[in-house]
Structure 1
Amino acid sequence: MKKKKTWQMPNTYIILLSIAVIMMIATWIIPAGAFERIEEAGRTEVVSGSFHFVDQQPQTPFDFFRAVPKGLVQTAEIVFFVLIGGGTFKIFEESGALNKAIQAVADKLEGREYFLIPTIIFIFSLGGGTMGLAEETLVFLPLVLRLATAVGYDRYVGLSMVSLGAAIGVYAGFMNPFSIGVAQVVAELPIYSGMGFRLIVLFVMWVVTSWYVMRYAKHHPAKENDMQISDVLDDEVKTLSLSGKLQIIVFAGGFAMIAVGVLMFEWFITELSAMFLIMGMVGGLLSGLSFSKIAVLYIEGARELLGPAVMIGLARCILVIMEDGQIIDTMIYFLTTVLKQLPSSLAAVGMFFTQVLLNPFIPSSSGLAAVSMPIMVPIADHLEVTRQTAVLAFQFGEGFLDSLVPTSGVLMAQLGMAKIDWPDWFKFVWKLIAIWMVIGIAFLLIANAINYGPY
């Protein structure tokens, strides 16, 4: 008797391509439309009330396949950043210096492991709230994953500390220039005004997220296949040699330079990739590796992260299809038309859900602010909702689903690096996302009730 086949969740690549197919079909159904746009202080902004329908631009099956390489080209910087980062970590992994240093930290944390979770979440929340950490988290993820396994946690905890930590910072966005900064400028509000309220939001989100991850960690210790670093280090080789210490100095110094470059010199992906190349080359030479061996390790490390890198391009191809089919502006127009019908007390919540729906299709924080805020501000004025509350609704909605939906290229890359399938991650995180939503709605109702301002 044949066993009945059980249904299995499709591969992540298939999920992404299926969404792209749905968007291709949507370009045949949703009317094409466009807003007029103007250049304002170096930004492209939408002209409120300028929406008009244009000739339909239905995307064909050939356009669908063409969108895949176009998506990879548009995300090439990030794709190669992931591959180069994989090569660099492979070199430090080969020497063993990084594993020994992490184990030393783990030994010092023995008995105090739980403090690690809220501390790292807090650190990344500050990065998310000030710099809008997204692709940059991929730099730190391999290190935190190793540290998590060293103290007895599984991959979900390691990924959560980085991904969810940065996410709550982006969610609160207390002084993120790329989201709250642009949105407040468009809304003609003082830059970073209302920060105190958003810091309270961040604190609540940090407490709730830390509790959620710590609760999971308590009930789900590392499984046998989550290899402990200490398992591969003999007692006699756990002490770092002079060469190993120099490698750690190069490793830590490289990250310090990356932090300085991002904060003071506006470094982005290209500069981070260059620093990783330097770190890998110098670290490899200090460990006694030949140039040929370094090259081989770079290729091996890149090969291990090829899957996550390709996912980034596949996620972008969904946006490519929607842009080429000119249906994004139409979706914005219809969503805001519905929003105008809501009573004032619910308008802020409606704005939040509008931004939540738009975010997967406009992944850029500043881009979403420039597109949506010129439309949201007049609606807020009409419904007697303060502009600051409208900005808060944008901030909560911007990036809200990035920790959940497979259209987020960064999330898919993070999952690939942590070797976690998206369906499994969804099961792990959806309850927390639901809690975030309730928190966001509660704070929006409070903001509306107190006329969160200055105006």
Structure 2
Amino acid sequence: MSLLPSGDTQGHPSVSAAPAEPCAGAPSHTARRWSLDPLLMMLAAMAVAIAMTWAIPSGLYQRASDKENAPVVAGSYHPLPKPISAAALIPHDGPKGVAHPVSPLALVTAIPQGLLKTAPIMIMVLMLGGMFGMLRTSGALDAGIRRLLAISGGRPVVLVPLLMLALSAGSTFLGMVTEYLLLIPVIVTLGRDMGRSTMFGFALVTLAAKVGYLASVTNPFALLIAQPIAGVPVFSGLWLRLSIWVLFLGIAMVVVLRTGRGAATPAPLDAARLAPRHLGILLVAGVTLGTMIYGSVALGWKEMELASVLIAAGAIMAAIARMAPARAVEVFVEGMHRMVLAAVLVGLGRSVDLILREGQILDTIIEAVTLHIQGMSPFAVAPILMGVEMLLTLLIPSTSAKAALSIPILVPIAATCGVSAQTTVLAFLLGNGLVNMFAPTSGMLLAYLATARISYSGWFRYLLPLFALFTALSVSALLLAVATGY
């Protein structure tokens, strides 16, 4: 059986992904039976995290500083006493130097804490929904898609490689992921007009972004933290990461091209030129995306600055579309409403991380792994390191937090086994990227799914064969790295 998925394997009828439109058609009985509600998934992940704090001993490494996500000091691990009693069922602050299991009440209390920690990201996601609502209601989006289809002749074999190359390049060279929330409804709508399923458009954006982040050719968010901690020059070792990116992206393109054929009736090609106001609104959307990229990469803008850009863009679009002020506000708020679930999922993802940190068990997991890999063959250690990072990615979605915790510990241990620091960084990138393709604890992935209105179970089934293939190729890349002294 081929490892490459063919067709839309969601298991339910395709629906429109446009935030301003209701889902078309009711899901089948099979879809309702197997669908996993993303909010319930996050609550389940929180419950599992709480249980882990009761089952796993607590311990700590010393940190290089008091800053959040500061690198740990290798060899400094020490266990912490963790008395188990009925008192642990009630949230409390224990004495310094003593750990405690997380109270089951954290299933409630950790939710507002996670939302508070991620409030800037949530605000940006809501403003993104408002701006997209303006873009769609103005009619500019539909007009632009029809024009793009006419230019390309409606041929996916032309559009898919160009779009995926552009999106994945932004991810692998600049670390762009969050910004693509803006594009998911656009590409999903484009796919529907090409006669493809909802999964086609979603996979086009998501696989391009995830493959780019997996390879991280020059991704500053991963390499500016991991490589200095490992003691290798920033952006060094580029040749192997570039090769992995080209190979994986080519495979992903083939998978997307085979997805969702005949799921809808293609829209008729319209060779008419864009109306001036539609062209102006689309130019505003393009300038907005470029401004967000430049501000994030060159000016160090964070979520609040990016949210301000989205608000301004929405106002300019309303002016070009000649919307009455009351109507413009109504459209913007409706767009925000469509993104509430995506925003909340981002916050719940952080709640899981807060629970694990409070229970102080992450350092214990790293210490247990390092004790078991000492003295092993480098050809066995390199894939094991990737497996460790895959496990940590399920527990810690944050790339920077994982790097600060794991790299200082794993690099010296791996070196004693003959695995170079550069290969350890590669194992970190591959493990992080592979699991982030489907991690149920990744609030951003669940936000992607909520934006496109695709179930997690549908995405998981679609992705599983490709994930297995990418994992096997990643292990091969690590063995090549060890063999060549990378």
Under a length normalisation based on structure 2, what TM-score does the superposition of the two structures give? 0.85
Q: CA deviation at 1:259?
A: 2.6
1:348-398 deviation digits (Å, cap 9, x = unpaired): 111110111111222222221121111111112110112111111111112
Partners of 1:404 and 1:51 lie apart in 2 by: 31
Amino acid aligned to 1:64:
L
Q: What residue is the counterpart of 1:431 in the other structure?
A: 465
Match of 1:188 among 228, 231, 239: 231
5+ residue gaps, structure 1, are: none
Q: What residue is the counterpart of 2:57 in the other structure?
A: 31
Partners of 2:229 and 2:66 lie apart in 1 by: 9
Are 1:214 and 2:257 counterparts? Answer: yes
Residues 40 and 312 (structure 1), Cα distance of their counterparts in 2 relative to 1, 3 Å cut: closer
Q: CA deviation at 1:30?
A: 0.8
Residues 40 and 394 (structure 1), Cα distance of their counterparts in 2 relative to 1, 3 Å cut: farther
Match of 1:16 among 36, 42, 49: 42
Q: What residue is the counterpart of 1:264 in the other structure?
A: 298
Amino acid aligned to 1:38:
A
Partners of 2:33 and 2:432 lie apart in 1 by: 34
Q: What residue is the counterpart of 2:140 in the other structure?
A: 97
Q: CA deviation at 1:193?
A: 1.3
Partners of 2:375 and 2:390 lie apart in 1 by: 18
5+ residue gaps, structure 2, are: 1-28, 81-97
Amino acid aligned to 1:286:
I
Partners of 1:213 and 1:81 lie apart in 2 by: 29
Partners of 1:392 and 1:8 lie apart in 2 by: 36
**Aligned partners of 1:348 and 1:385 also within 8 Å:** yes
Q: Where in structure 2 are the equivalents of 1:102-251 lying within 5 Å?
A: 102-217=145-260, 220-223=261-264, 230=267, 240-251=274-285
Residues 8 and 168 (structure 1), Cα distance of their counterparts in 2 relative to 1, 3 Å cut: closer
Q: What residue is the counterpart of 2:317 in the other structure?
A: 283
Q: What residue is the counterpart of 1:50 in the other structure?
A: 76
Amino acid aligned to 2:395:
F
Amino acid aligned to 1:209:
A
Partners of 1:356 and 1:440 lie apart in 2 by: 12
Partners of 2:318 and 2:76 lie apart in 1 by: 57
SS at match of 1:61: coil
Amino acid aligned to 1:222:
A
Number of aligned residue pairs: give it.
439
Are 1:63 and 2:106 counterparts? Answer: yes
Partners of 2:161 and 2:227 lie apart in 1 by: 30
User: Mean Cα displacement is larger for which, 403-412 or 52-61?
Assistant: 52-61
Amino acid aligned to 2:173:
T
Root-mean-square deviation over aligned CA pairs = 2.2
Are 1:344 and 2:397 counterparts? Answer: no
User: Mean Cα displacement is larger for which, 55-64 or 272-281?
Assistant: 55-64
Amino acid aligned to 1:30:
I
Amino acid aligned to 1:48:
A
Partners of 2:158 and 2:178 lie apart in 1 by: 26
**Aligned partners of 1:28 and 1:58 also within 8 Å:** yes
User: Mean Cα displacement is larger for which, 206-215 or 442-451?
Assistant: 206-215
1:271-313 deviation digits (Å, cap 9, x = unpaired): 2211111111110121111222111111111111212221112
Partners of 1:201 and 1:102 lie apart in 2 by: 32
SS at match of 1:363: coil
Partners of 2:61 and 2:200 lie apart in 1 by: 43
**Aligned partners of 2:36 and 2:456 also within 8 Å:** no
**Aligned partners of 2:35 and 2:456 also within 8 Å:** no
User: Mean Cα displacement is larger for which, 397-406 or 251-260?
Assistant: 251-260
Are 1:420 and 2:454 counterparts? Answer: yes
Identity of paired residues, percent? 30
**Aligned partners of 2:171 and 2:213 also within 8 Å:** yes
Are 1:381 and 2:415 counterparts? Answer: yes
Partners of 1:449 and 1:188 lie apart in 2 by: 21
Partners of 1:310 and 1:182 lie apart in 2 by: 28
